[in-house]
Amino acid sequence: MPVNIDEELKKAEVLIEALPYIQKFNRKIIVVKYGGSAMVDEELKRKVIEDVVLLKLVGFKPIIVHGGGKEISSWVKKSGMEPKFVNGLRVTDEPTMEIAEMVLNKVNKSLVSMIQDLGVKACGISGKDGGMLHVKKKLSAGEDIGYVGDVDDVNPEIIHALLKDDFLPVICPIGFGSDHHAYNINADDAACAIARAVDAEKLAFLTDTEGVFRDFEDKNSLISELTTAEARKLLAGGTIGGGMLPKLNNCIDAVENGVSRVHILDGRIPHCLLLEIFTNKGVGTAILGEDAEHFYNTNI
């Protein structure tokens, strides 16, 4: 027999190792916030989609919530305008909102296409579909920054309808206000609100960082696992860097509202989603409730 049986056997062992994880998350909803480098690099992108497709096929119910930040800016410029930000929030006037909605929906459908190509049924929706994401206008330090919204109500009916019929929902973070206008929503916030509304088992943020550091200047201080209480203490300590701050608040919020585990993953590592879910060595930082069982050694 010309086959290298040893090598093949190692593969079989890998599949067997995945058994307890497949069982653990069977029929569970996993919300993946997809953004950053993993969305720009074509190779990483393909791997993320492969990961999500695998999760779907082995019995999980993944939901993708994606952003589109860089491409929006590029189209704003292409249309002869200049992107503006206040406190890290995009100032979103009427024409900017129009472009944001167009770009996000285009990105949305291109992800749907990639998933379909791998043989899994997907459907791309925005927060307008089924009246899913209702927002209230967000102010930035009291200042009007246009059509930027905070989710204040989620109607998950369209998501459940798609899941029931075995479609993988791909969601772009556009909502609508009581003025019936479209609003841009921060994708992290949208993912968090959706995870809460559908009682997700897991919420995973694909980021451009390695995770949460005890001291963000010390690359050896990465934290594997944090309870919400520890996370709060850390935030109070003031050592948490800029972009991580709202993300960590989102994590705490999600865990305190029913999501079992929230993960801040390094989206620059290929297959980081699979690594997180199917191996007993976490990548990035997990945030969990006070009484959750700790999985890994933490170095906090």
- Give the pairing type, strands 168-172 and 143-154: unpaired
Contact pick of 237, 281, 290, 294 for a copy of itself (by CB under 8 A): 281
For 181, phi then psi, to 5°, come to -90, 155
Contact call for residue 117 and a copy of itself (CB under 8 A): yes
C-alpha to C-alpha distance for 182 and 292, rounded to whole angstroms: 39
Rounded to a whole number of angstroms, the minimum distance from the CB of residue 287 to a copy of itself is 17
Interhelix angle 187-197/244-256, rounded to 10 degrees, is: 10
Rounded to a whole number of angstroms, the minimum distance from the CB of residue 5 to a copy of itself is 7
Chain centroid to CA 295 = 21
C-alpha to C-alpha distance for 43 and 223, rounded to whole angstroms: 27
Residues that bind a copy of itself (rule: CB under 8 A) add up to a total of 79
Stretch that binds a copy of itself, among 16-24, 32-40, 246-254, 286-294 (CB under 8 A): 16-24
Residues 130-159, interacting with a copy of itself (CB under 8 A): 130-131, 157-158
C-alpha distance from residue 224 to each of 15, 32, 255, 265, 286 (Å): 24, 19, 16, 10, 6
Q: What angle do CA 144, 75, 126 make, to 5 degrees?
A: 70
Rounded to a whole number of angstroms, the minimum distance from the CB of residue 49 to a copy of itself is 11
Rounded to a whole number of angstroms, the minimum distance from the CB of residue 9 to a copy of itself is 6
Specify the residue, 104 or 148, whose C-beta has the smaller distance to a copy of itself.
104
Specify the residue, 7 or 291, whose C-beta has the smaller distance to a copy of itself.
7
C-alpha to C-alpha distance for 82 and 211, rounded to whole angstroms: 32
Q: Is 68 annotated as a binding residue?
A: yes
Stretch that binds a copy of itself, among 136-144, 163-171, 183-191, 245-253 (CB under 8 A): 163-171
Stretch that binds a copy of itself, among 22-30, 137-145, 190-198, 254-262 (CB under 8 A): 22-30
Residue 45, number of CB atoms within 10 A of its CB: 18
Tokens matching residue 247: 């993300």
- The amino acid present at 162, given as its one-letter code, is L
Helix (H) or strand (E) holding 70: helix 69-78
Contact pick of 40, 113, 144, 241 for a copy of itself (by CB under 8 A): 113
Residues present in the chain in total: 300
Q: Is 184 annotated as a binding residue?
A: yes
Contact pick of 42, 82, 165, 217 for a copy of itself (by CB under 8 A): 165
C-alpha to C-alpha distance for 236 and 218, rounded to whole angstroms: 18
Contact pick of 30, 32, 44, 112 for a copy of itself (by CB under 8 A): 112
Contact pick of 18, 91, 292, 300 for a copy of itself (by CB under 8 A): 18
Q: Is 168 exposed, middle or buried (0-12, 13-18, 19+ CB in 10 A)?
A: buried
Residues 192-231, interacting with a copy of itself (CB under 8 A): 210, 222
Residues 35-94, interacting with a copy of itself (CB under 8 A): 47, 50-51, 53-54, 57-59, 75, 78-80
Q: Is 90 annotated as a binding residue?
A: yes
Per-position x/- string for 240-279, each x denoting binding to a copy of itself as judged by CB under 8 A, each - no binding: -----------------------------xxx--xx--xx
